[in-house]
Structure 1
Amino acid sequence: MMINDPDTVAEVEQAFYEYERALMSDDVPAMDALFHDAPTTVRYGVGEVLYGADEIREFRRGRGGSPQRRLGRLAIATYGPDLATANVEFFRDGSDRRGRQSQTWVRFPDGWKVVSAHVSIEGSSS
């Protein structure tokens, strides 16, 4: 198994930044398109626990956008041509508390999709 093939890393990095652009502009259809549309997809947020693409979509529709943020260090690792992780530190506007986001990406016939995501803020109890 090839770990961190440069071409695969570049593909996942492109998908990651596509998601980040969609998140910061509240482009819900683009975010939904980058998450695997299945009941097995999971997203744990700072204050929510979502199982399945339907719950994730419903959360996004009612959210009213994500707090704006700047990214810190990004670490992408690929395992073969079809599986990757993306872990990033972020800082919400007006705060110096570090947030963390982890995503598991899988290559499907229609492209790279998030199958699992987790978001947390240091020092946050929710």
Structure 2
Amino acid sequence: MDDLTSGFNIGTNYSLSPEFNEMTGFNGEEVRAMLDYYATTCQFHHSTDELIEAMKPWYDNYCFAEQSYGSTTMYNSNMVLYFVDNYIRNGGYMPRNMVEENIRVDYNKLRMLIR
């Protein structure tokens, strides 16, 4: 519904505003605190630093507000939770796949859309 009578036409997209950039994921301190907490309650075979080192290239460096680029980056919250859940359920071993199946791009669907 996007005609003149739709209330949606008066909506404002705040998702790319700098004041909300840090609400769209986890910052490094939050990821560290989460891992430190679970390390005391679950079986871990790695230190928090080792886990962050493994996660950082895959899940860090998200930035949604252009003005925040270079100063604030976020970890993808969905992927961090996927990693932690799998790590705990696998008895303290890292997931085989660093990207959740539901997140992976379906290249066949993209090819079909492009054609």
Q: Same fold (TM over 0.5)?
A: no
The structure with more strand, counted as a fraction of residues: 1
Q: TM-score, normalised by structure 1?
A: 0.25
Bigger radius of gyration among the two: 2
Q: TM-score, normalised by structure 2?
A: 0.26
The structure with more helix, counted as a fraction of residues: 2
